[in-house]
Amino acid sequence: MRAAAPGGYSVANQKQAYGIPIDLAASNKETLQMVWGPGTFGYSPSELASFAKRECPGMNLDKISFDTLNHGTPGGDNFGEGSLDISMIASFGMNISTLVSNTNTSMSTEEGDGFGLAFLDFLTELASRKTVPHVLSLSLGSLSAYSCELLCTKAVETGEVTLSECQAYLQTQRQVCMFQSTAQAAAINAALMAVGLRGTSVFGSSGDGGSHWSFGPFHGEGKMPRILNQIGCEYQFPVFPTSSPYIVSVGGTDWKNGDPKKPKMWSGSGGGFSWQFAQPAHQQATVERYLTTTADLPASSSFNASGRAYPDISAVAVEGTSQSSPTFAGLFSMIVDMRLNAGLAPLGFLGPRIWSVAQAFPGEAFEDVTEGNSKTSCPAGFPATKGWDPTTGWGRPIWAGMVKHFASDSHSIGYV
């Protein structure tokens, strides 16, 4: 289990920054949330208990359980990932039944493209269950299949490498190209839609490499890292599955000079525009305004201005957007709990409603974050600005406004 986030970013401090009562807990026994991962994804109950004692004494450990027989491997990389996901979703969605699901197959690693197979299998099975979670958080992902194809296409054009050399190299890189093809991505996108239609709100991390990378530049000596790093800075490379229109994409923030009242973009927060999936209608006017009024944008040829724009929202991510996604997922689980207690349906697919609320009631449910840029180590990226931007989306949570606009339908503006 990872220790409390550095620099005063404790669970209590984050809740205070968002206006959330420290002891807010769910009361409906039917409310259900889930985190998922492949391979070694899991957690240590004893270490989670230590985290709860230190960070969130109100966490109900009896509400957290394994969903599958595959519980992960202590010490594995995804074990740390799973521990972070669970600690965040259970801290911000207190007293909610939490399932930890794992697809542990021989191919479901983060090196190579077996991850996509495991993910598709999981979603297909989940959509067919009698009971599905109301909220699902997904922290893992990589460059989209289209991004990986573009990387290798441009690498081959240099005349220095072959297509097979580029593809083989990318398959050795952790969390870089974990999806087999755009066809597989389309199948995953359809499966995410099916899960949403069952009533599950799906949240995903926007990535930790700004608008150019999964995590950061390629490392090591030789021509391949050199070529790919050059191409990586020439284009904006979206990640997947967060760029699916059926996921609520969650970016990252931190605090300027450690002041929780002054949010800014976390330096690695991913964002941009999908190469593969079209921009939903509810995004188009806002995105056009951003692209036509914002200075110092990347070259228009480096991204797909008509693609699905992400992230949608953001939260503290000093440990990466693997922290911010389960945080927001836990908050919306609390909203679902309120809705169930009021006899209302769960929220299901949330994208259009989030955008409608943010557009019609700016500054009520989400606090705008206007400082930052997604360029990371490259010359150009997307700047944060007033309103939505592809760095922190609509901003960080304002709890009272979230309750007002999502816990009931009395403020409906045509999004229910």
Binding site for Ca(2+): what residues are annotated?
A: 368-369, 387, 389
Contact predicate 348/332, CB 8 Å? no
* CA 235/CA 226 separation, integer angstroms: 15
Q: Is 267 a catalytic residue?
A: no
The CA-atom distances, in angstroms, between 220 and each of 213, 217, 225, 229, 379 are 16, 10, 7, 11, 21
Contact 207, 239 (CB under 8 A): yes
Q: Which residues contact 207 (CB under 8 A, 6 or more apart)?
A: 141, 213, 214, 215, 239, 242, 268, 269, 270, 271, 321
Q: What CA–CA distance (Å, rounded) separates 89 from 270?
A: 20
List 55, 81, 254, 367, catalytic entry: 81
C-alpha 365 chain-centroid distance: 19
Residue numbering of the annotated binding site = 368-369, 387, 389
- Residues 6 or more apart from 410 whose CB is under 8 A from it? none
Other Cβ atoms closer than 10 A to 300: 9
- Among the options 44, 55, 83, 85, which is catalytic? 85
Q: Tell me whether residue 322 is one of the annotated catalytic residues.
A: yes
Cα separation, 90 vs 32, in Å, equals: 11
Instruction: Please state, in angstroms and rounded to a whole number, the distance separating the CA atoms of residues 243 and 185.
Output: 10
Dist CA 73 CA 55 (whole Å): 24
- 81 tagged catalytic: yes
Q: Which of 44, 139, 147, 322 is catalytic?
A: 322
Q: Which residues carry out catalysis?
A: 81, 85, 322
